[in-house]
Amino acid sequence: MVMRKKSPLLVEDNKFCPGCGHGIINRLLAEVLDEMGVADNTIGVAAVGCACLQIDTFGIDWIQAEHGRAPAVATGIKRCRPDKVVLSYQGDGDCLAIGMAETIHTAFRGENLTMLFVNNGVFGMTGGQMAPTTLPGQKTTTSVHGRDVTKTGNPANILELLATFETVKYLARGTVTDVAGINRTKGYIRKAVENQIEGRGYSFVEILSPCPTNWGLTPLKSIEHIKNNVAKVYPPGEVLNRTEEAK
């Protein structure tokens, strides 16, 4: 049976706020790398934002990318070291605002990479500003009256966009709101890493995650908010599986 014990890859307590979903996602990723026996040959590319806080607490080789450029940095590493597991770990602003070009083109080229995208609907580290993923009407520090979609557009759905590229092999959206959802998310991450190891090509997993600090909600209310509101705009599940395994 699966060990229910902190992964040895989680070498120190994480630095995230109370109730932050990154802690759960860190655990899932650590367990996947552990269970697959690839942690010693994995290189992580951390984004700018809260998604970089784990490079001291998560014991794999890491590189800190420039803001938004994690997929490009990952491309450089993977092209040079195709036998390593290379994964990027990004948040909303990094992956979908400043780094949208890198996100799209890395998928467009079909790099044999694993990209993890943590969607908590705000710029976390800078204090909760509006992100491309902020819900319509959601109040943030740069949308104080609520996000006005007539001026700022609708929440960006990156999975729908990436699904249009034939080079993209696997797309899934997980949550961390409950035991079943968390376990499904772990399965998505595992598939995304397996695809890379098997050389099946580009995989991208989005994970809906709470940011109680910047949402101004308690952690438990944040979980309810994801279930009742965020998941309506961003339905969880496997969106696309073009791998051989799927056939």
Partner 1 sequence: MKRELMKGNEALAEAAVRAGCRFFAGYPITPQSEIVEYMSWRVPEAGGSFVQSESELAGISMVYGAAAAGFRSMTSSSGPGFSLLHEGISYISSAELPAVIVDVMRYGTGLGDIFQGQADYWQGVKGGGHGDYRLLVLAPASVQESADLIALAFDKAEEYMNPVLILSDASIGQMMEPVSLPDLKGHDPDQFQWSLKGKQGGDFRRVTSTMYYRTDFNEYIKAKFDRIAENEERWESVSTEDAEVIMVAYGISSRIAKEAVRLGREAGLKLGLIRPISLWPFPKKAFTGFSENLRGFLTVEMSSLGQMGEDVALADRMRHPVYAYLSGDKVPDPETLVATARRVLAGEMKEAV
Partner 2 sequence: MAKEKIITYPERCKGCHYCLSACKKGALSVSEFTNKKGHKAIEANAEKCVACGSCFTVCPDYVFELVEEAGA
Residue 136 contact among partner 1, partner 2, none, beta carbon within 5 to 8 Å by kind:
none
C-alpha to C-alpha distances, 82 to 36, 78, 138, nearest whole angstrom: 17, 5, 42
* 211 lies in the binding site for partner 2 (CB under 8 A): no
Residue with tokens 């001291």: 56
Cα dist from 208 to 9, 39, 42, 152, whole Å? 23, 24, 24, 21
**Binding-site residue total for partner 2 (CB under 8 A)?**
27
CA distance 247 to 242: 8
Tokens of 112: 């044999």
Q: Does residue 217 bind partner 2 (CB under 8 A)?
A: no
Q: Is 145 helix (H, G, I), strand (E, B) or coil?
A: coil
Instruction: Indicate whether 80 belongs to the interface with partner 1 (CB under 8 A).
Output: yes
Segment interacting with partner 1 (CB under 8 A) among 15-23, 97-105, 135-143, 197-205 = 97-105
Q: Which stretch binds partner 1 (CB under 8 A): 35-43, 123-131, 150-158, 225-233?
A: 35-43
Is the separation of the CB atoms in 180 and 163 below 8 Å?
Answer: no
105 binds, among partner 2, partner 1, none (CB under 5 to 8 A by kind): partner 1
- Let me know: does 60 contact 33? Beta carbons within 8 Å: yes
Stretch that binds partner 1, among 39-47, 121-129, 134-142, 217-225 (CB under 8 A): 39-47
Could you give the CA distance from residue 121 to residue 115 in angstroms, rounded to a whole number? 18
**Nearer CB in complex with partner 1: 51/73:** 73
Rg (CA), the chain: 17
Residue 6 or 232 having the CB closest to partner 2: 6
Q: Report the interface residues with partner 2, using CB under 8 A.
A: 1, 4-6, 10, 13-14, 16-24, 27, 176, 178-179, 182-183, 212, 218-220, 223
